Structure 1
Amino acid sequence: MLLTITISITALVAVNFLLLKFSSNKISSKPKVNKKPIVLKPDIVLEQESKRLAPTGS
């Protein structure tokens, strides 16, 4: 019985490795990556407001 279980598990592992080796999920070419940043609205200017904060007393 132990021999049958060992042979069955070994056969399943071998089939799993064969399926992994010959799987059809391979990528044929790498996609081109655009490294330039995309500027959506170049006319926007960030303005920082300086407000005086109230004292907290801590």
Structure 2
Amino acid sequence: MITTITLTLSILIALNFMLLIFSCNKTTKKVSQKEPALIKTNTKEIRTERLTTSHLAPTGS
């Protein structure tokens, strides 16, 4: 019983590694000569006014 389980798990693990090795997607590296286009953004400067600080009341704790 234990040997059957061990043998089955070993075969499944070996099969998993074999599938992992042989099913990897092979990609070729293509060198592109094209330069990326720069995107110009119009940034507007937004002025903010400083808000007045509110005073908190003492809690008395």
Taking structure 1 as the reference length, the TM-score comes to 0.58
Match of 1:3 in 2: 3
SS in 1 for 2:16: helix
Structure 2: runs of 5 or more not aligned: 57-61
For 2:18, the aligned partner's letter is L
SS of structure 2 residue aligned to 1:56: coil
Structure 1 residue runs of 4 or more that deviate by more than 4 Å after TM superposition: 34-37
Count how many residue pairs are aligned between Structure 1 and Structure 2: 55
Q: Deviations over 1:1-50 (max 9, x none)?
A: 11011000000000111101101422222675x88573244xx2522425
State yes or no: 1:27 paired with 2:27: yes
> C-alpha root-mean-square deviation of aligned residues, in Å?
3.2
Change in 2 beyond 3 A, CA 1:4/1:20: same
Consecutive unaligned residues in structure 1, runs of 5 or more: none
Call closer, same or farther: CA 1:14–1:52 in 2, change over 3 Å. Answer: closer
TM-score by length of 2: 0.57
